[in-house]
Homo-oligomer: A and B are copies of this chain.
Amino acid sequence: MSESPASTPEPGGEQPPQDPAYTAAVIDLLGAIAYGELTAFERLAEDAKLAPTLEDKVAIGSMAAAEFGHLELLITRLRELGGDPYAAMDAFRVGFDDFHAHTRPADWYEGLIKAYVGEGIAADFYREIAAYLDPATRDLIISSLEDAGQSAFVVDRVRAGIAQDHRLGGRLALWGRRLMGEALTQAQRVAAERDALTALLAGGVDRPGLDLAALGRMFTRLTENHAQRMADLGLDA
């Protein structure tokens, strides 16, 4: 479904973790992913309350628990890198909290779309960045983005919902666009604030980075993947 960043012209980096600036940037990035997983866990647990059946509730709860499992791996790695996991996460608190405050699902379906679309955008973005990192960090990030069948569950439920009520499709399509807009707004703000992260993306003398053209291509891939996910749900992007 999503184009692999590995197929892009920008090669994966092999930076030694000894470089303090590089380590600081990785700690920053893992902190962002970790705080994102924590908020995703909280949001999913909240959405579980809206589940129409016990089975649906367990399915959403299982997504929440999976996010938490990833979070625990990230915290362990942050400690290994000599970082304070909670300080690293705290730096991204405002951005993620604002995103969630601006995108509170009004019902079960909006919660499902948010879980699916939000996870998808975040996963695409982190995978793109991971391509520039050392293999150990890259593998950790990729494995923390694993989908344990949750997408299939969401697609099934949303398609069934739209089949029963066609007006739902229009509302959810708008909702998907709003989620994408809010995600971009917050990502831009975080990028502007976090120097270590942007330096990581820009590259250095001894390692490749993203120039403006590459950044443009990455952006194109993110929006294309989002459109594909919306199409999988039976929605206009």
Contacts and interface: CB of A to CB of B under 8 A. Distances in A.
Interface in A20-71: 38, 41-42, 45-46, 48-49, 53-55, 57-58, 61-62, 64-65, 68-69, 71
A38 B65 contact: no
Given A64-B68, A65-B65, A68-B64, A58 B38 contact: yes
Contact of A69 (B49, B58, B65, B71): B65
Contact of A71 (B41, B55, B58, B75): B58
A164 to B, nearest CB: 21
Contact of A45 (B41, B53, B54, B89): B41
A48 to B, nearest CB: 6
Contact of A68 (B46, B65, B86, B89): B65
A28 to B, nearest CB: 16
A69 to B, nearest CB: 7
Contacts of A14: none
Interface residues of A, number: 25
A41 B48 CA distance: 10
Given A38-B57, A38-B61, A42-B45, 17 more contacts: A38-B54, A38-B58, A41-B61, A42-B48, A42-B49, A45-B46, A45-B48, A45-B64, A53-B86, A54-B86, A54-B89, A54-B90, A58-B75, A58-B86, A64-B64, A64-B65, A65-B72
Interface of A: 38, 41-42, 45-46, 48-49, 53-55, 57-58, 61-62, 64-65, 68-69, 71-72, 75, 86, 89-90, 93
24 contacts: A38-B54, A38-B57, A38-B61, A41-B45, A42-B45, A42-B48, A45-B45, A45-B46, A45-B48, A45-B64, A54-B86, A54-B89, A54-B90, A54-B93, A55-B86, A58-B75, A58-B86, A61-B68, A64-B64, A64-B65, A64-B68, A65-B65, A65-B68, A65-B69
